[in-house]
């Protein structure tokens, strides 16, 4: 059987358990809190998610940084030397320069090792949407599929990975330049909760507004109800910005309706720095994004 390693980056927000279960290599992006650098490594976190979100809520300045080609080159070449070809499933190129850095490294290594294979897929996904695509790709790999078959499969289904999420902290969207200060203030006063998704090009799109937290979470469920493909036989991913009870409430509603498995994890610091505390996100296979 062909040996190959699936690599992704930590914007996939895979939990430690999923990283181990899937046998996938996760390259950590970095983030900065008040100028101090941390690596978003799911298997070796330098700061807990709870502590991260506390500092974010306290108004600490948080910024993020993409991976660079050298970091990719080192990780990919390590696999090639070990006898494994490489398939990289990367963070949406519309949201970060990370994927393009991976492409540059792959091109260089394909020239250096002409008899080997380094492939890349722009998932056009983020957070556990990216994680869900990685999950499905790993299932195909474990069926004994070739690296080309897994790459082509990932390309074929990435447009069906639906991302629906709502945020609680409108001021975090304001700090990220997504909405104006007036919109944030008015929305907070009226308890307006935006519902967003990631479109076919991997861009973040504000879709509509719900009045109140419960209504916004119900809107996520209704979007799944409208477009999910065979939901009873899916594994559903849900991520949250330190609001597990809300994520579980959504998961319980989905399980009650369809009897399917829901996996719940944190929105990691790289995505959470932009979406804020209180984010709830739902990921599933749908007829269209």
What is the value of pTM for the model shown? 0.93
Residue 113 has pLDDT above 50, yes or no: yes
For 61, the 3-state DSSP assignment is: coil
Alpha carbon distance 59, 54 (integer Å): 9
* pLDDT tens digits along 154-199: 999 999 999 999 988 665 665 555 555 545 544 455 466 888 899 9
For residue 115 the two structure tokens come to 């008899």
Whole-number percent of the chain with pLDDT over 90: 83
Alpha carbon distance 251, 262 (integer Å): 6
Question: What is the model's pLDDT at position 181?
Answer: 53
Which part of the chain has CATH 3.30.1180.10?
Answer: 160-285
Asked which of 16-20, 92-96, 135-139, 173-177 is least confident by mean pLDDT, the reply is: 173-177
Is 3.40.50.300 the CATH classification of the domain at 160-285?
A: no
Q: Taking a C-beta distance cutoff of 8 angstroms, is the pair 200, 289 a contact?
A: yes
Alpha carbon distance 86, 67 (integer Å): 17
End-to-end, the C-alpha distance of the chain in Å comes to: 34
Asked which of 145-149, 184-188, 195-199, 283-287 is least confident by mean pLDDT, the reply is: 184-188
pLDDT-based confidence at residue 210 (cuts at 50, 70, 90): confident
* CATH architecture entry for 4-158: 3-Layer(aba) Sandwich (3.40)
CA angle 255, 126, 157 (to 5 degrees): 70
Question: What is the model's pLDDT at position 186?
Answer: 47
Question: What is the model's pLDDT at position 196?
Answer: 87
Question: What is the model's pLDDT at position 212?
Answer: 86
| CA distances to 75, 166, 189, 203 from 111, in Å | 16, 44, 57, 31
For 193-237, the DSSP string reads: EEEEEE-TTS-EEEEEEEESHHHHHHHHHHHHHHHBSSGGG-EEE
For residue 31 the two structure tokens come to 């983030």
Which part of the chain has CATH 3.40.50.10170?
Answer: 4-158
Q: Which of 37, 32, 132 is nearest to 89 (CA)?
A: 132
């Amino acid at each position: 059987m062909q040996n190959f390693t699936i690599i992704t980056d930590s914007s996939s927000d895979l939990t430690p358990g999923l990283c181990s279960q899937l046998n996938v290599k996760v390259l950590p992006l970095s983030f900065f809190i008040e100028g101090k650098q941390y690596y978003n490594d799911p298997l070796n976190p330098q700061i807990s998610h709870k502590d991260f979100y506390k500092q974010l809520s306290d108004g600490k300045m948080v910024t993020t940084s993409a991976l660079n080609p050298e970091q990719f080159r080192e990780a990919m070449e390590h696999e090639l030397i070990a006898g494994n070809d490489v398939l990289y499933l990367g963070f949406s190129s519309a949201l970060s320069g990370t994927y393009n850095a991976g492409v540059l490294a792959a091109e260089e290594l394909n020239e250096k090792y002409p008899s080997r294979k380094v492939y890349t897929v722009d998932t056009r996904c983020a957070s556990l949407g990216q994680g869900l695509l990685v999950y499905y790709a790993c299932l195909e790999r474990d069926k004994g599929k070739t690296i080309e078959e897994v790459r082509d499969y990932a390309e074929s289904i990435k447009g069906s990975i639906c991302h629906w999420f709502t945020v609680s902290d409108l001021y975090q969207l304001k700090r990220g330049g997504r909405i104006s200060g007036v919109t944030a203030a008015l929305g907070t006063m009226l308890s307006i909760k935006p519902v967003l998704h990631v479109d076919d090009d991997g861009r973040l799109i504000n879709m509509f507004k719900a009045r109140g937290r419960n209504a916004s979470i119900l809107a996520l469920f209704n979007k799944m109800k409208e477009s999910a493909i065979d939901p009873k036989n899916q594994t559903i991913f849900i991520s949250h910005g330190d609001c597990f009870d809300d994520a579980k409430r959504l998961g319980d509603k989905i399980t009650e309706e369809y009897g399917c498995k829901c996996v719940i994890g944190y929105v990691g610091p790289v995505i959470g720095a932009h979406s804020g505390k209180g984010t709830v996100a739902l990921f599933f296979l749908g007829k269209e994004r």
